[in-house]
Chains A and B, each alone.
Chain A
Amino acid sequence: MSTYDAKKPSRRAFLSGAAAVGAGVVTSSAAHAQTADPLIVEPQDWAQSFGDGVDATPYGLPIEHEGDVIRRNVEWLTADTVSSINFTPIHALDGTITPQGCAFERHHSGAIDLKKSDYRLMINGLVDTPLVFTYEDLERFPRENHVYFCECAANTGMEWAGAQLNGAQFTHGMIHNMEYTGVPLRLLLQEAGYDTAGKWVFVEGADASSNGRSIPMEKALDDVLVAFKANGEALRKEHGYPVRLVVPGWEGNMWVKWIRRIEVTNEPVESREETSKYTDTLADGISRKWTWAMDAKSVVTSPSPQAPITHGKGPLVITGLAWSGNGAITRVDVSKDGGKTWETARLAKPGEKMALTRFYLDMDWDGSEMLLQSRAMDETGYVQPTKAQLREVRGLNSIYHNNCIQTWWVRENGETENVEVS
């Protein structure tokens, strides 16, 4: 990453983008005029000589021109990068699968270097035989493939009190969506002979924080995966190499990385991560605990503050992402006027359970201001709420599980800003 000549997005990108609008005007009129495009009429170096041979990069990185499509950190959020979070550049991606290299990271004591040969997974507690598995053992269990989103419960949390961060990457980038290969946790529990009366499993990682969490047995037996591949290749170090837990639809903190131990218990541990953090304080000071599912949510990823409109009037593709931890996305509506009127967007594919869904709204932009919003619905009939609706129920002191409708203010010149509307 450090070799990239990182471009400067956002306002600077906008300014250079605005210059491109001017250039575009020239070019399009030039299409009807006499000036020939030098990129076409003049011989270009790349069309005459050679490019790189095979093996120039045995494992390929994105081309340098995409050097601004990177994870970014908000420094003032945390005291130290070792216990911190960064954000997926969702404003610059399309489709639904997040490349591992730019998928957000969240560590509590840094991304550790753990070799497959040093990896051990213990299952203990209320089981017939406490067991230890090696990485190779895990590869011998029947395995499954599933695409799931992983969203930090704090995604959009900085926006509770009002519009703060100017970019979809920062407001909604604590999310990624990958195709996982792994063993159902159910099979490992069966192998150890779990006590069917056990109500919880406690899961912890091999890193210094261990990030222990209690998961109800019902979920553990349902769809939790012990995963070792993502998007077809090994997990990245920062996502828990060699093995992580995948807890579909539930908050990212439960997706324990470098998972080393699973204990069947009768009681929840009520660890730090499930009491002092990842609980939701309501206006009266009472806090909700065990708020595991991530409710339906969506955001327009382009245009957005880091992805302004640079081409002027005419055909415009509005696009974004929608997801729900309670099932499949069935519909996404888009408003261009801050929520007065809505039209239903086109889903790129039918929604899949607990996975990102891409939506598009193709329009002819007349160059006037827009207040862009998107509103997701899932198969349970749930409709993504406004920020006002959320605040009415939860007050202003909540942090996690902010799934409000987001508003982008698109100006006549294409510049776009994160705003809150009445």
Chain B
Amino acid sequence: MSKYLKSLTIALTASCLAAPVMAEKLGLGRAALPAEIAAWDWDINVKGDGLPEGSGDALVGEEIFAEKCAACHGDFAEGIDNWPKLAGGADTLDHEDPLKTVGSYWPHLTTAYDYIKRSMPYGSAGTLSDDEVYAIVAYILYSNDLIEDDFVLSHENFMDFEMPNAQGFIVDDRPQAEYAIWSGEPCMTNCKDSVEITMRALVLDVTPELEANSGATEVSAAAAPEPAPAPEVPAIDMELAAAGEKVFKKCKACHQVGGKAKNRSGPILNGVVGAAAGSVEGFKYSKALRGAAQDGLIWSEAELAAFLAKPKAYLKGTKMSFAGLRKEADQAAVIEYLKTFE
């Protein structure tokens, strides 16, 4: 086809497929109220526009972090299992397997404030006060050895802080670095002298067992665990259980209860009070808990209370990185609440 014909065809096609043209406004929608914009417009850009007034230091941040963040990110922001590591990794970006954390990788501190304020804690997004966010950001900086523990981070000094990797980014240069090289008529014959297999996926063997498809997983996760024969349980104190529901908010990021409960980073807790330890199907328990289960541990109220008071002291090596419920009243309340789920 000649160039002229081709362009003519394109022109004709284009006129048939014309995109909608809207010269005038349609008058659809309504004006957003200032209160509505304030309720949704929380983002903080790279210049710091949107940073709220407030302050916090790492000492305060540590306490909040232990309660609301450490279950996934670890007490020292080191990350549990596959959850994001927030600290460490300085000077590793040009090494094999670099460790990318807030300290080693993130170019702007505004990103940390923006993300924590809007999207964290996981499972309770947007519930932190402005001061709490400043304190948590300060604690993450402290965990990365970037500030002292008494340094007070605030809206006034926030933008003075330059992240270690601030200069570590360039704008996409693929057009220059790649497109120019990888174009043109490719080789069709005699492109290589020899071909050797240098790596095989089956040798590595990390492909999931395919019978465990998502449908089947849901079935097993949704199946209620077999409760072990429980001793006579006295009637549930509903007032105490209601108080326990509030305490349980601290547990919810990792544990689910009720009819639709699934295993998350912690097992389903339906029927846990009085059950044999380590008995939730499909949950991968720590070695420590599997050992205790083998020794016949039953989650009696007393054992649960002891575990909840100081999880890591009670069961060394537990995956549960929750700092613990210090108040006995909280322990009792949450146990009472759990009793309402069979």
Contacts and interface: CB of A to CB of B under 8 A. Distances in A.
Contacts of A78: 82
What secondary structure prevails in chain B residues at the interface with A?
loop
Interface stretch (B107-115, B148-156, B286-294, B322-330): B107-115
Contacts of A131: 29-32
Contacts of B170: 286-289
Interface residues of A, number: 119
Interface stretch (A36-44, A46-54, A310-318, A378-386): A378-386
A385 B184 CA distance: 12
A72 B210 contact: yes
Interface string A359-395: 0000000000001000101001111110001000100
Given A338-B195, A340-B191, A417-B202, A2 B216 contact: yes
A285 B188 CA distance: 36
A385 B181 CA distance: 10
A143 B20 contact: yes
A208 B186 CA distance: 47
A117 interface: no
A132 B72 contact: no
Contacts of A210: 118-119, 125
B43 A166 contact: no
A191 B26 contact: yes
Interface residues of B, number: 92
A3 B83 CA distance: 32
Contacts of B119: 108-109, 208-210, 272
Nearest to B17: A144
A10 B25 contact: no
B83 A79 contact: yes
Given A130-B31, A184-B20, A204 B174 contact: no
Contacts of A319: none
A24 B204 CA distance: 33
A127 B119 CA distance: 26
A137 B190 contact: no
Contacts of A268: 45-46
Given A70-B213, A380-B183, A418-B201, A137 B207 contact: no
A422 interface: yes
A134 B29 CA distance: 7
Interface stretch (B61-69, B95-103, B226-234, B273-281): B95-103
Contacts of B181: 389, 393
B29 A272 contact: no
Interface in A260-294: 260-261, 263, 265, 267-272, 275-276, 279, 281, 283-293
A286 B168 contact: yes
Interface stretch (B7-15, B33-41, B235-243): B33-41
B191 A341 contact: yes
A77 B83 CA distance: 10
Given A79-B81, A109-B122, A270 B46 contact: yes
B303 interface: no
A265 B274 CA distance: 56
B120 to A, nearest CB: 9
Contacts of B93: 281, 285-287, 397
A193 B98 CA distance: 45
Given A131-B32, A417-B201, A421-B197, A165 B215 contact: no
Contacts of A71: 214
A74 B40 CA distance: 34
A6 B215 contact: yes
Interface in A317-348: 333, 337-343
Interface in A122-147: 122-125, 129-134, 137, 140-144
A341 B188 contact: yes
A409 B195 CA distance: 12
Contacts of B169: 275, 279, 286-289
Nearest to B41: A124
A239 B119 CA distance: 19
A419 B200 CA distance: 4
Interface of A: 1-4, 6, 8-10, 12, 67-68, 70-83, 86, 108-109, 122-125, 129-134, 137, 140-144, 162-167, 170, 184, 187, 190-193, 202, 204, 208-210, 212, 260-261, 263, 265, 267-272, 275-276, 279, 281, 283-293, 295, 305-306, 333, 337-343, 371, 375, 377, 380-385, 389, 393, 396-397, 409, 417-422
Given A9-B210, A184-B20, 12 more contacts: A10-B207, A123-B29, A131-B30, A131-B32, A142-B22, A166-B202, A261-B41, A267-B45, A337-B195, A385-B182, A419-B201, A422-B194
22 contacts: A12-B211, A72-B210, A75-B212, A122-B40, A129-B31, A144-B19, A166-B207, A170-B207, A170-B208, A202-B43, A202-B45, A208-B123, A263-B43, A268-B45, A270-B45, A288-B173, A333-B186, A340-B195, A371-B197, A380-B183, A409-B200, A419-B201
